[in-house]
Each structure stands twice: as structure tokens, then as C-alpha cells.
Structure 1
Amino acid sequence: PEQRKALLATLKREADVIAMLKTGGGKSMLAIIPAIMDKYSAVVVFLPLKSLMTDWKRKLDAMKVNFQVYDPSRRLSPHANLILVSIDQARFKTWRQYLAEFNEIIPVKRMVIDEAHLALLAEDFRVSMRDLHELRQVDAQLILLTGTMPQSSIAALKEMFGLADTTIEIRESINRPELEYIMRQPAQSNTLEIKTIQIVEQEQEQWTTKDRGLVFVTYLDDGRSLSQRTSWPFYNGSQDMDDASRVQHYNDWRSGKSPVMICTSAFSTGNDYPHVRLVVHLKTPLEMSEIIQAQGRAGRDGLPARCYIL
């Protein structure tokens, strides 16, 4: 019901929308359906993470939805009315110029910001996202998507994005009864890798060929060490890894070539593979929201999954 309410509010375009839908709740449809239904207007989707860009592209390709990804080296094409753009690139004057030119040909009526709660969390996201309200140089509805937003943060989010009091808020329960949460007693750092490997091997015995596991690390050195020890791919957002390597790791994991992947919080948002049976946090994350986001990757098919914190 909440997804339907959010979609209707988006289609009516009478007010801005904050859609707080649980993981797997169909948030992306709030951008895709308007773009399909109204070919004479455009939808811009702002993405704060590279993993989100990868996932949106895969999803749109699978659905055979026509779209384009903003490239600063060329102008926007009028032949695709659904535009994906990295929030980092949207900060620059070139994007605003190209958007204004595009808007003269096809009016941009909706702007969607995926995982909008990230604007309130880390400083690097705040720097990239804090000026996005200025993009409303065009007469566009703003739709904020999130699966992790406490009610107490809504006012701050509205202020950051310049939303009016008339903004429509739609909230869905994020209760996940299919997930089992397991907190292990504190242990010495030098034993955590062994414990992680033991848990993964134990859980894998019950998996089918489509089941997957994710091991989240807070620190890059932990990820590199575990990857070296296990040969599991390590997905991270550091400058040491290029986009091609990230895509390769993601594809190897999704296809089952590497059923288990190590990752940082760079992968905690956006991935919608449904059969994640296991999420392990190697060391406690720095933010509670990181735990919620990462564990939200598990059990999206509605079947039981386990979430460990070591």
C-alpha cells in the first residue's frame, strides 16, 4: 500500500515526496514508472554511490528501460528521458549547463535522490549533496528515497534539501521478521578472521546454488587481509580500486563464481540481489545506520537469513 501511495504522489506531482520504504519495497519504481508513462518529460536520478549506479544500470537493462548515464564529456541526449547521474558529478557547472539545455527540449519534471539519508551521515556525502536543492532551477518535483530514516531526522532532511512543509511523507514499517540477528561476544582482533571464515563455511553448507553471503568490514586493511586469506573478492570504494574491478567483483559474486564477497559500506546500499542468506560484520561499524543498511541486503526473497556482528 505504501509503495502505491508513493507512486501516486509522484505521478500527481502536487508536492515533493519523501518515500521511506523498506529494502525491496520497490523504491526504484518511483523513477522508472513515471519515465515510462510520460515520454514527453524527463526523470533525473541522483546516485550517491558507485554501487548504486552499477545496480540501477543492471536493473534498467534487465527491464529494457531506455535510459542514459550522464557523461561530462558530452551533452545529454534527447532520446532517453530517464537520466542517471552521480551526485559527485552533479556538483559541477557543466552538469547544470547541460541540464538547462536538455530541459529546453524535454522538461525535467521529477528529480529522484536515491538513499537520501546519506546526506545526513558522512561528511563526504554532505559535501556532495548539500547543494542539490539548487538544481531546482527547473520546475521539478523532488522525490527522496530511503529505507533507513528515523522520524527524528526528517526535519533535518527537509531543511537540507529545501523541502516545503507540504512535502508528502510516506513511511513503511521496516520490520524484517525473516532476519535472525546474532551478536557474538567480544573477541581478540587476531581471532576475528578465523571466526568469520568458520561462520561462512558453516552457513554455506545449507545454501543452494543461488544463495550468497556478504562480509562487511569497517577498515580497508581488514578487508584486504581477509581477501588474501580466503580469495574472496573485496569490493570497496577506495581510490585503489577502479570501476571496472568493482563491476567485475559484483558480477562474479552475483553470478555465483564467488558466492561470498567482502565489502565496505560502499556496497551496503542499493544491491537488490534477493538470495543473500548471510551478512557478517567483521568488527562493529562506526554508525548504527551502516548496520541497518548492510543487514538490509539479507533475505530480500522473504526467506530466512542470518546477520552476525563479530
Structure 2
Amino acid sequence: MVLHNRSNPSSPDWNAVLSKFQTIWGYSSFRSPQGEIIQCLLNQQDALVVMPTGGGKSICFQLPALLSHGVTLVISPLVALMENQVEELRQRHLPAALLHSELSSYARKQTLRALEANQLRLLYLSPETLFSPAVWERLCLPQVVINGMILDEAHCLVQWGDTFRPAYQRLGAVRPALLRTKPAGTRITIAAFTATADPQAQQTIQQILRLHQPQTILQSPYRSNLHLSVNIAWTPRGRRQQLLRFMQSRPHQAGLVYVRTRRDGEALAQWLTQQGYSTAAYHAGLSPEERRAIESAWLSGRILFVVCTSAFGMGINHPHVRWVIHFHVPILLSEYVQEVGRAGRDGEPAQALSLVSEPTGWLDSDDRQRQQYFQQQRRKQFQTAQALLHQIPKQGDVNTISRQIPNGAIALALLHSKGQLQWHDPFHYEICGTTKARLSDSQDLAKPMAQYLSTRQCRWQRLLQAFGCPDAAKQLGQGCGHCDRCDRIRR
């Protein structure tokens, strides 16, 4: 773990903090580095926190929010993630709420009234909901006290912020805009939390959010109880047979099977049901009720494993997951680390197996086609944005641009990511560079994952190097001893 500008949790009120922690969550002490993060936020200092999945990140911002006056905004990427965290807080009778597009009109009005009356301590919402007129207008009311903004799962800003979810690029303009509406002396703390951010991603998060001298807490993603392996599946049928053999050798163990699309998930879940397994396909296309039912069945053990897309996992706490299989590997290495991190959160041995096509893709071209599709889509988005540049005024309002020009918001986000645009507030922009510059996609986002899958060195060392933890990689010496590469060396 690397700790910069570390604060020692020794303030006079620390006993009260511990007492509140024990009252709410039942623990008598914090796990490292929870105490340092909580103290940092109580001191109203910005922070960037990189902690492995299962490290207890949510407590680090929930407790300071509950101990502070006013509301802390928690910017979250997925409805399922918001619902899980808010439900846990409400079960403890804590003043937390959420806002998203699937809420009933009555529930939405109730939450907005509670926000106006300063009755909330935590409000979960997406970037898009944050910028909706009804929400933004209330947040700007002088009497509404806002003490902090948390970006949960901050890697989504890097993965999605310049194309898929352009609203992420505008988050850095939130604090100065809100402060202009609040009484003099108001302070709003910003903290970003994620399990996966390499050095470049850390820099991007800090720049976009405009963090002020943040305390940076970097914890190695290394998990000695998690065995990593990659197997070649020569044909689609062979891939299914490998999956079947793996699960047959681990009866009565909880696990997850990751696929990349809804269609793949539903087809695989149907096939596994035909093989006699009780399972379900989980993806973002399900209703909230359907998602909750699958989560409940999995957490209670009524079904041992779920076939899921990346929509499943964030914020769902099942400590006894013994295995994770990537039936299809993700394009991004950061997604891979997030997903394998669901296994072995209780510290007991766990397995993470990835099934991949042979390198040429001649016998099973699915993986190669999936990667090519991802790269083509990104190129297409950059090309579309480039073509729109001559239509976009040098100054303007993002909502007007979005109405008048399809994909205009994405073009603005790409300009911002390339340093050619600045946001005066979350809605008004000014192009500060020449629009004649080419908006090329200089990043090969798929390359780190491809290198990991084909590496001949220890897999954990490769991951640690990729995520900016060279000291942790060196500490493993000749290898971790619990990945398929190290297994081969020992044999």
C-alpha cells in the first residue's frame, strides 16, 4: 500500500467516530487503511482511493457522511449498485436515499423534498441524474447543505467518460458551480473510490474531478488466496465443456460466470439449465424486481452461480464466492480485476479461470470479433465526433447541443478529454483549442488485457506492474506461486 499525505486518526473526536462505527456496523476497529480515509474525509480533504474489491470502501465514505451536517452526493454508475447500498443503509434506519429514472414519481418527489429539508446524509445518483433540471435546481438552493461528493467506482469515469457516458466529463465543474450558490466559507470535499486504476487512470480521475491536493491511498490489488489461470478453448463446444468440467469438480460452491452480452448470457444460462443446473442470466436489461430476485437467490444459496454481464457484482456483498469463470474475457484489464475480485473475499482459497480462443481465432473467432467490434465502435465514435466539430459553436450549452446535434454531447466530452474544451459550469462550455485538430483515439485500451492473457511471467506480477504497484510485484520474487504460470514453472 502507498499512502501520500497520510493523516493519523488521532483527533479528539476519534473515540466518537469509533463508537458510531461500532453502533452502526458492529465492528470495534477499522481495517487498514479505512481509518486514514475516514479521517481524511472528516478533515474535508480531497482523496483518491484505490482499494481492492471487498476492502470495505463504502464504509469509508458512508461513515463520514453520517457524522457530518448536510448531504453527501454519491455518484454511482449503476442502478443496481445504488439500490444495494441504499437498502443496506435503510435497513439500519440511516438517512439515505437514491434518485434514478426507474423511480416512481411519488418516490422521486419524496426524496427531493427530503433533500430540500436537509433530512438526508447520503444521496445516491448517476451523473446523468445529477444534471437533470429538477435535481440540479434543488442542489443549488442556498439552504441545501452539501458537504461532499463521492465518485464511487471511479474507473467508470475513465472507461466511459469520453464516449458511452459523456456526463462524467462534466463532474469537475460541479463543485465550483455549487459553491457559487452557497454561503461564504462553504467547503465541499470530493473523493474518488475504485478498485482498479493504473497510474494513467489515476491522473485522469484527478484532472477531470479537479481534486485539490488529494490524499492518495493506493492499495495493491494482490490477493494471495486467489489463483489465476487462463485456458485455451479451441472451439465453442470445447469452451462449454471446459466450463462444465470446472463446475462439476466444484459442487456446492458459489460462483459467477461472466459473459459480455445479454444474448450470450441468456443462451449460456439456458444451456446450463438443460445440463441440470439451477441458474439465471443477469444483465442490465432486467427489471429492478428481476435483478433483486436473482441477487437474493444467489446470496441465499438457492442458486449457486449466476451467468452475468459486467452489470452484476458492484456493491453486491457475497464473501464466500469460491470461483469466477470468464466464459468471455472483458476487453479492459480493469474490468477483469474488478470481476475476479468477487471471488475469495472471505480470505479463503478461490479460483479465477479465463477461457480464451486460440491465438489465431480460426476455430473460434468470437473473442477476436468481440475485440474488433469494441475497437471499431471507439473509432466510429471518434470519427463521428470529428465530423460534428464544424457544427458545434465555440461557446454554448450542452443541453441545446444535445437537442440539435445527435451525439453532440459525446463530441463535447471528447474535446474535453483532449484538452480542447473547458466547462464553465456543468452545462456551459467553451472550446479553447482549434477544432481543426484531429480527434484520434491514441489509446489501445485492449492491449493490456491481451498482454496479460498471453504473458509467460507470473500473472499476479503482470497485474501489479500494470496497475502501478512495482514494489508489490518485486515482493513476489520469482512469482506468486498461485497462478497457472507459476504452476508450470514448479512442475
TM-based fold match above 0.5: yes
Aligned to 1:35: 65
C-alpha distance in structure 1 between counterparts of 2:322 and 2:309, whole Å: 18
- The answer to whether structure 1 residue 86 and structure 2 residue 126 are counterparts is yes
- The answer to whether structure 1 residue 114 and structure 2 residue 152 are counterparts is yes
| CA drift at 1:27 | 1.0
What is the SS of the residue equivalent to 2:258? Answer: strand
Pick aligned residue for 2:199 from 151, 159, 171: 151
1:283–1:257 Cα change, 3 Å: same
Aligned to 2:351: 306
Superposition map of 1:41-120 within 5 A: 41-70=70-99, 73-74=108-109, 75-77=112-114, 78-101=118-141, 104-105=143-144, 107-120=145-158
Aligned to 2:240: 193
Structure 2 residue ranges without an equivalent (≥5) = 1-31, 102-107, 180-186, 274-278, 356-491
Number of residue-to-residue matches in the alignment: 298
| CA drift at 1:179 | 0.3
C-alpha distance in structure 2 between counterparts of 1:124 and 1:303, whole Å: 39
Residue identity opposite 2:200 in structure 1? S
What is the SS of the residue equivalent to 1:175? Answer: coil
Between the two proteins, what is the percent identity of the paired residues? 25
Aligned to 2:211: 163
What is the SS of the residue equivalent to 1:267? Answer: coil
What is the SS of the residue equivalent to 1:182? Answer: strand
| CA drift at 1:259 | 1.5
C-alpha distance in structure 2 between counterparts of 1:227 and 1:275, whole Å: 22
Task: Point out which structure has higher relative CO (alpha carbons under 8 A, 6+ apart).
Answer: 1
Question: 1:134-182 deviations in whole A, cap 9, x for unaligned?
Answer: 2211441101001111123221111121223x11111112210010112
Decide which moves more: 79-88 or 144-153: 79-88
| CA drift at 1:65 | 2.4
Pick aligned residue for 1:4 from 19, 22, 35: 35
C-alpha distance in structure 2 between counterparts of 1:133 and 1:163, whole Å: 8
Pick aligned residue for 2:259 from 217, 224, 227: 217
Pick aligned residue for 1:128 from 167, 190, 206: 167
- The answer to whether structure 1 residue 179 and structure 2 residue 218 are counterparts is no
| CA drift at 1:9 | 0.6
C-alpha distance in structure 1 between counterparts of 2:258 and 2:289, whole Å: 21
- The answer to whether structure 1 residue 279 and structure 2 residue 324 are counterparts is yes
Instruction: Specify which structure has the higher proportion of strand.
Output: 1
C-alpha distance in structure 2 between counterparts of 1:79 and 1:58, whole Å: 17
Question: 1:170-221 deviations in whole A, cap 9, x for unaligned?
Answer: 111221001011211232123322321221232125x3xxxx2100001322
TM-score by length of 2: 0.58
Greater radius of gyration (CA): 2
Residue identity opposite 1:116 in structure 2? A
C-alpha distance in structure 2 between counterparts of 1:193 and 1:64, whole Å: 45
C-alpha distance in structure 2 between counterparts of 1:76 and 1:159, whole Å: 33
CA RMSD of aligned residues (A): 1.9
| CA drift at 1:62 | 4.3
Superposition map of 1:261-272 within 5 A: 261-272=306-317
TM-score by length of 1: 0.89
